[in-house]
Amino acid sequence: MQQRLVALLLLVASVACAFPVASAFGGDVRVALKHVDAGKQLSRPELIRRAMRRSKARAAALSAVRSRGRSARFSGGSDQQQAPGATPVRPSGDLEYVVDLAIGTPPQRVSALLDTGSDLIWTQCAPCANCLAQPDPLFVPAESASYEPMRCAGPLCSDILHHSCMRPDTCTYRYNYGDGTTTMGVYATERFTFTSSSGDDALSVLLGFGCGSMNVGSLNNGSGIVGFGRNPLSLVSQLSIRRFSYCLTPYASGRRSTLLFGSVADGVYGDDTAAGPVQTTPLLQSPQNPTFYYVHLAGLTVGARRLRIPESAFALQPDGSGGVIVDSGTALTLLPAAVLVEVVRAFQVQLRLPFANGSSPDDGVCFVVPAAWRRASSAPQVPVPRMVLHFQGADLDLPRRNYVLDDHRRGRLCLLLADSGDDGSTIGNLVQQDMRVLYDLEAETLSFAPAQC
């Protein structure tokens, strides 16, 4: 009888190790987000130019993902659906916002990059064969009582496209990002503690995560990445989060942005940050690229005129190409080349300003400001046409600062738009600043409203 009891306890323990169990999760958690360049004493033009460089890498990575979905037709979690010899890619690790959290028992502090365009949760771990520069000490699994390598039978292990069992009954992984960043190590379960924006520990849960000991590429002021995408590995999926929202502050504001996730009560827009009406548009999904949050963009207005761009220019195609992604990790709004040409032409006609000569690719699309307007930073702004994004059921009338950069020192006015590199589009975080953006995965909608974040 005693032997049977011991065997039963061992069986229960092995099942518990194989399956990560997130703690019972109810209510909402509000955490602070820090921009990666916060505290560097840079001007707004300098901050945006740095973000433009990151956006170029991000654009290439997103384009690679869409191309892979089109050519290989893999759904993100199955080796069988991937073309022989193909290497999956994810959006770039060169991201924009950092969330502070802690891992382990007792907790070890970590700064992780937020990414709505990828799924894996991971951090760099000691001992580390090859690690990237990071602001925090490496996470040390040996010093945590709650660290547990996942068994090969663990369900999340099979959700990692490149996984193996090189050690006896231990899940190992490799995860690649589109900018060349790669993390490899042991996939494990561990206790994650999220700190609220008020400084208290708001949530403590067990999650599956990558403990990376061989990492190559770029981690921009972070120690790892928290994926908020739609696939099983993400925080959203592991915690069965049905709604989350964020409110992003302007880069140079000095204020921290906020991330709210959980059940997110209907009153999310009822706080004192709301400064305008709430608009809602459907979320779309692509079987080829299931991680991403797609929306239906129907057209654009520049000035008083809606541009003659067909809706098909923004359509999500059955093969995973095209479509419009809403992404927190890209600064600029990215448009297909043909669409960008039409938008820039409309601005040029209405601004009646010449293009800036000799500008670097990092400056985006820039116009020369008339000599009469070239003053110090206190100079009045050059009047620009309004810009409206027309979604299905919602119109986003952009504040000037969300799509224009006034670079007084260089005598330029730049549009915060860039070429996506393919037929897909991305709504970047500059467009979303000072807006409360709500992802409702229960209703499959995206809502937004002007706010004082």
- For the chain, the residue count is 453
DSSP 8-state assignment for residue 386: -
pTM over 0.85: yes
CATH classification of 273-450 is 3.40.50.300, yes or no?
A: no
**CA distances (Å), origin 385, targets 92, 240, 301, 343, 344:** 32, 42, 9, 11, 11
Domain boundaries, the chain: 21-262, 273-450
Q: Quick one: pLDDT at residue 141?
A: 97
Q: Is the pLDDT of residue 443 over 50?
A: yes
Mean pLDDT score, 191-213: 84
Query: Which percentage of the chain shows pLDDT scores above 90?
Result: 57
Comparison of pLDDT for 321 and 4, the residue scoring more? 321
Check 28, 37, 94, 115 and give the catalytic one: 115
Higher pLDDT pick, 197 / 196: 196
pLDDT at 414: 93
The whole-number pLDDT of residue 364 equals: 74
Mean local confidence (pLDDT), 98-108: 94
Phi and psi of 88, rounded to 5°? -70, 150
pLDDT at 269: 56
Average pLDDT score over residue span 18-27: 46
Residue of 37, 119, 327, 434 marked catalytic: 327
Report the C-alpha gap between 158 and 187 in whole angstroms.
Answer: 11
115 catalytic? Reply is yes
Check if 21-262 and 273-450 are the same fold. yes
> What confidence category does residue 171 fall into, taking pLDDT thresholds of 50, 70 and 90?
very high
Is the pLDDT reported for residue 290 higher than 80? Answer: yes
Average pLDDT (435-445) is 95
Cβ atoms within 10 Å, residue 109? 16
DSSP string, 197-223: TTSSEEEEEEEEEEEEEEEES--SS-S
Lowest mean pLDDT among 12-21, 22-31, 86-95, 275-284: 12-21
In this structure, is the dihedral angle defined by the CA atoms of residues 342, 347, 352 and 356, taken in order, positive or negative?
negative
How far separated are the first and last CA of the chain, in Å rounded?
62
H/E element holding 373?
Answer: none
Name residue, tokens 């509000």.
Answer: 30
Residue keyed to tokens 């993902």 = 65
CATH of 21-262, one of 2.40.70.10, 3.40.50.300, 2.60.120.260, 3.40.50.150: 2.40.70.10
CA distances from 45 to 39, 53, 228, 396 (A): 15, 13, 29, 24
pLDDT 10s digits, 130-148? 998 898 999 999 999 999 9
pLDDT above 80 for 110:
yes
- Distant-in-sequence, close-in-space partners of 24: CB < 8 Å, separation ≥ 6: none
State whether residue 365 is helix, strand or coil: strand
**In this model, does residue 312 exceed pLDDT 70?**
yes
pLDDT of residue 17: 38
Q: Does residue 327 have an active-site annotation?
A: yes
Query: What pLDDT sits at residue 5?
Result: 31
My answer on whether omega of the bond before 361 falls inside 30° of 0, hence cis, is: no
Instruction: Give the pLDDT of residue 436.
Output: 94
DSSP states along 258-294: EEEEES--GGGG-STTB-S--EEEEEE--SSSTTS-E
User: Which of residues 73 and 58 earns the better pLDDT score?
Assistant: 58
Q: At residue 264, does pLDDT exceed 70?
A: no
